[in-house]
């Protein structure tokens, strides 16, 4: 086994203007992120697979009400929750994804079950829910995901909508979680989970569960998890775009990720960011929004976490 390993996690990107969070809230979020990175580092150091580590990290992020995934996910226009998640193994290119599920506390676990125990990659809606039940995965009432903050954000979004058809204030719209890792066998993995965007309608699905858009991993290049305005990440096939720039254009991870985040996405008005790791353990965490909840660490650097630009 190699000595090298690396992990990065995110809790969403958006207009996280300084001053919106109290200093105590900031400290708590940063400490939550660092604790999760440190746990992931220990597992990687012990030889755990990147796939298991990203699943575990995303599960912890889903369980944390600060983030828009699992408990604490945003509300759709009907006042309910529809959750999306994906996981991908860079070694085998196996992948699992679900969208529009309403009763699974940890959607990333359902995505992993799709990958391991079905012959498919992507299950949606009622079928994905039936699969989760058949797998014996835990079920909760849809209201279990709701927090007072998300209820208030839906009320705000609906109020804004009454006068502006396309709200531009993005702070209450984003907040997906994700993780990418390189393990000591040299394998990469990525996972992403989200409640989507506040006030979403008509069964809207974003980039997070779409392999190549919001989630991608390939040992040949990199593992990527995205966050931001999903429609743009879909149109730019953002995560695979980064891998393709490396594989076919010879770009470094840094050049590829920054080109997508600072050139491609903004060319259509896309806001957000990505976390990415390559097969040598280089990490990139970049965003074109005011902030992105993020944490990282590797075989020689203990856990770091940030919200805004450095």
**Rounded-to-integer distance, Cα 201 and Cα 212, Å:** 23
Under rule CB under 6 A, residue 241 binds ligand ASP = no
Would you give the binding string for ligand ASP spanning residues 178-217, x where CB under 6 A is met?
Answer: ----------------x-xx--------xxx-----x---
Q: Shortest distance, CB of residue 228 to ligand ASP, whole angstroms?
A: 5
Which of 100, 105, 212, 230 lies at the binding interface for ligand ASP (CB under 6 A)?
Answer: 230
**Which residue, 76 or 305, has its beta carbon nearer to ligand ASP?**
76
**Which residue, 55 or 227, has its beta carbon nearer to ligand ASP?**
227
Q: Which stretch binds ligand ASP (CB under 6 A): 106-114, 174-182, 237-245, 300-308?
A: 174-182
Examine the residue annotation and report whether 215 is marked as an active-site residue of this protein.
no
**Which residue, 107 or 175, has its beta carbon nearer to ligand ASP?**
175
Q: Which of 4, 168, 176, 215 is catalytic?
A: 176
Q: Which two tokens stand for residue 299?
A: 């075989």
Under rule CB under 6 A, residue 281 binds ligand ASP = no
**Which residue, 49 or 192, has its beta carbon nearer to ligand ASP?**
192
Site residues (CB under 6 A) for ligand ASP, limited to 11-30: 12
* DSSP 8-state symbol, 211: B
Q: Contact residues for ligand ASP (CB under 6 A)?
A: 12, 68, 174-176, 194, 196-197, 206-208, 214, 227-228, 230
**Residue numbers annotated as active site:** 176
């Amino acid at each position: 086994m190699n000595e090298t390993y690396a992990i990065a996690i995110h809790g969403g990107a958006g207009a996280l203007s300084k001053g919106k969070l109290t200093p105590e809230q900031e400290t708590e979020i940063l400490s939550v992120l660092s604790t999760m990175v440190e746990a992931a580092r220990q597992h990687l150091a012990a030889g755990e697979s990147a796939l298991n580590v990203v699943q575990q990290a995303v599960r912890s992020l889903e369980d944390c009400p600060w983030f828009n995934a699992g408990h604490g996910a945003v509300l759709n226009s009907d006042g309910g929750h529809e959750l999306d998640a994906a996981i991908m193994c860079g070694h085998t290119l196996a992948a699992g994804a679900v969208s529009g599920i309403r009763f699974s506390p940890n959607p990333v676990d359902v995505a992993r079950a799709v990958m391991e125990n079905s012959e498919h990659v992507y299950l949606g809606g009622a079928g994905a829910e039936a699969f989760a039940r058949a797998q014996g995965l835990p079920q909760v009432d849809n209201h279990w995901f709701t927090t007072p903050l998300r209820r208030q954000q839906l009320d705000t979004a609906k109020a804004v909508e009454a006068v502006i058809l396309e709200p531009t204030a993005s702070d209450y719209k984003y907040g997906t979680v994700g993780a990418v890792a390189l393990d000591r066998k040299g394998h990469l993995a990525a996972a992403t989970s989200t409640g989507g965007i506040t006030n979403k309608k008509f069964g809207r699905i974003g980039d997070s569960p779409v392999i190549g858009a919001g989630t991608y991993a390939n040992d040949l290049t990199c593992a990527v998890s995205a966050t931001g305005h999903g429609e743009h990440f879909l149109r730019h096939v953002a995560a695979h775009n980064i891998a393709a720039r490396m594989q076919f254009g010879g770009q470094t991870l840094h050049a590829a990720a920054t080109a997508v985040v600072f050139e491609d996405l903004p060319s259509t008005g896309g806001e957000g960011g990505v976390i990415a790791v390559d097969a040598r353990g280089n990490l990139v965490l970049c965003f074109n929004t005011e902030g992105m909840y993020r944490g990282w660490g590797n075989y020689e650097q203990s856990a770091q976490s940030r919200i805004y630009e450095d």
